[in-house]
Amino acid sequence: MKLYYSPGACSLSPHIVLLAAGLPFTLEKVNLRVQPHVTASGVEFSSISPKGYVPALQLDDGTVLSEGVAIVQYLADLVPHSKLAPANGTLARYRLQEWLNYIATEIHKSFSPLFYPGSDEVKNAAWDKLSKRFALVETQLAASPYLLGEDFSVADAYLFTCLNWAHMVQRPL
């Protein structure tokens, strides 16, 4: 498998999951600062992943998966003994999906205004919204060491990735 990534991007979460799962993989950096985006080997990234953004996971048969939430669940399902995701069809799995969706829609996307030029008013409003979202996470983590309880999961890898962005936008957690 090959993970297409960019430093500082959300592609960190599948990278963490690959390492935690002990799966063999290679990495290929994607330069997102140029148009069109190109890989370290000089390939136009949109020819690999038409969505044009990382992460993308190329499987050994050439199939490409995109979207971090899908990728991390796929990886966890390859090694069910790792406990990186509960078994499919269980309530615990739906709780995992609940957290992954919350992180994707309420935390990940809410960081966007902080990464781009904009007024202080817009940035402060975005941070205020994020702070409210973090409160729910804080409540959950006060009750257990990880989002799903006692075991590290793919949701924790994704949350770590997003929380790591706070220092990049110079906002204290």
The CATH code of the domain that includes 124 is 1.20.1050.10
**Residue 118 maps to a domain:** yes
pLDDT confidence band for 171 (50 / 70 / 90): confident
Query: What's residue 173's pLDDT?
Result: 77
Whole-model pTM above 0.75? yes
User: Which domain does 77 fall in, by range?
Assistant: 2-81
Location of structure tokens 């590290």: 152
Whether residues 86 and 164 fall in one domain: yes
**Residue 110 maps to a domain:** yes
Query: What's residue 172's pLDDT?
Result: 78
Location of structure tokens 């080997």: 41
pLDDT tens string 31-75: 999 999 999 999 999 999 999 999 999 999 999 999 999 999 999
Mean pLDDT check: name the lowest of 15-29, 79-93, 121-135, 144-158: 121-135
pLDDT tens string 133-164: 999 999 999 999 999 999 999 999 999 999 99
Identify the CATH number of the domain in which residue 52 sits.
Answer: 3.40.30.10
Location of structure tokens 């799966």: 23
Q: Could you give the number of structural domains in the chain? A: 2
Instruction: Record the tokens describing residue 116, joined without a space.
Output: 């781009």
Q: In what order do the strands lie in the sheet with 26-31?
A: 38-39, 26-31, 2-5, 56-58, 64-66
16 CB burial (10 A radius; 0-12, 13-18, 19+): buried
- Average pLDDT over all residues of the chain: 96
Whether residues 107 and 62 fall in one domain: no
Instruction: Check whether 4 has a pLDDT greater than 90.
Output: yes
Instruction: Record the tokens describing residue 35, joined without a space.
Output: 């148009």
* Dihedral over alpha carbons 120, 118, 122, 167 (to 10 degrees): -70
Whether residues 134 and 163 fall in one domain: yes
Domain stop point among 21, 51, 81: 81
pLDDT tens string 97-121: 999 999 999 999 999 989 888 899 9
Instruction: Check whether 13 has a pLDDT greater than 90.
Output: yes
